[in-house]
């Protein structure tokens, strides 16, 4: 009511509107706080922070939420590191598809987010290579099976190639290619997991 002229008539006209607006802002703030608490309970701190930031700072609740924003921001960074580490663990076992899913959970604005963006590109490329190689093996398997079925009973069947073994926790590259394959070994990439939280 600071911008309303100090005339009793106008003050009386505006006072109910200000009271109604203030009550509506407080109700909306309480609703947003409840939604933020629910998201935080489910460990979705990014969504919780979005709800908290939508609370009007001029409301009673808005004046008191700064400690919660700091707490949820800290927990969001910790959660981001958790997802990044899980992605590294999946990649170490050669499960790039699961690693990609974990990386997509890392909020991009956190310290782990930049690393996650880079690893997302890297693991997507590795998954693509793996799928291409698997497609080549599957094509060979089906061609050999078809040839064996089409062969006459007296003709010897062609040998079916053995399927590619799943990579484990070995330091050996999971594909054999001429040249340097160290970029395909996720075990060497895991040394990059030490990211400062602060």
Would the pLDDT of 89 be above 60?
A: yes
Q: Which residues contact 65 (CB under 8 A, 6 or more apart)?
A: 33, 52, 55
Least confident range of 32-36, 63-67, 183-187: 183-187
Distance between CA atoms of residues 93 and 74, nearest Å: 29
What one-character DSSP code corresponds to residue 193?
G
CA quadruple 87, 89, 92, 96: dihedral sign: negative
- Ranges of H-type helices in the chain: 8-41, 45-53, 66-92, 96-103, 111-150, 186-189
Q: Which of 19, 34, 64 is the last residue of a domain?
A: 64
Q: Is residue 168 part of a domain?
A: no
- Tell me, rounded to whole angstroms, the distance of Cα 105 from its chain centroid: 1
Q: Is residue 165 part of a domain?
A: no
54 and 13, same structural domain?
yes
How much of the chain exceeds pLDDT 90, in percent? Answer: 46
Segment 9-13 mean pLDDT: 79
Q: What is the pLDDT of residues 130-148, one digit of tens each?
A: 899 887 765 545 544 554 4
- The residue among 158 and 66 whose pLDDT is bigger is 66
196 and 102, same structural domain?
yes
The CA-CA-CA angle for residues 3, 56, 9, to 5°, reads: 25
Distance between CA atoms of residues 185 and 174, nearest Å: 7
124 and 187, same structural domain?
yes
Q: Is residue 139 part of a domain?
A: yes
Distance between CA atoms of residues 107 and 94, nearest Å: 23
Range of the domain at 101: 78-144+180-198
Q: Is residue 26 part of a domain?
A: yes
Would the pLDDT of 196 be above 50?
A: no
127 and 194, same structural domain?
yes
Quote the number of domains for the chain: 2
Question: Which pair of tokens denotes residue 53?
Answer: 């930031």
Global pTM value: 0.57
């Amino acid at each position: 009511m600071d911008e309303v002229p100090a005339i009793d008539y106008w003050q009386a006209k505006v006072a109910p509107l200000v009271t109604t607006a203030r009550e509506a802002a407080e109700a909306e703030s309480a609703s947003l706080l409840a939604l933020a608490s629910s998201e935080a309970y489910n460990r979705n701190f990014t969504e919780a922070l979005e709800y908290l930031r939508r609370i009007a700072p001029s409301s009673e609740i808005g004046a008191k939420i700064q400690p919660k924003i700091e707490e949820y921001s800290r927990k969001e960074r910790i959660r981001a590191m958790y997802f990044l580490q899980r992605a590294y663990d999946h990649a170490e076992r050669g499960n790039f598809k699961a690693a990609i899913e974990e990386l997509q959970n890392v909020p991009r604005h956190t310290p782990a987010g930049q690393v996650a963006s880079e690893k997302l590109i890297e693991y997507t490329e590795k998954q693509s290579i793996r799928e291409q190689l698997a497609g080549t093996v599957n094509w060979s398997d089906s061609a050999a099976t078809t040839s064996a079925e089409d062969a006459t009973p007296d003709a010897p069947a062609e040998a079916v190639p053995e399927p590619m073994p799943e990579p484990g926790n070995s330091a050996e590259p999971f594909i054999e290619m001429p040249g340097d394959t160290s970029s395909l070994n996720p075990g060497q990439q895991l040394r990059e997991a030490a990211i400062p939280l602060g």
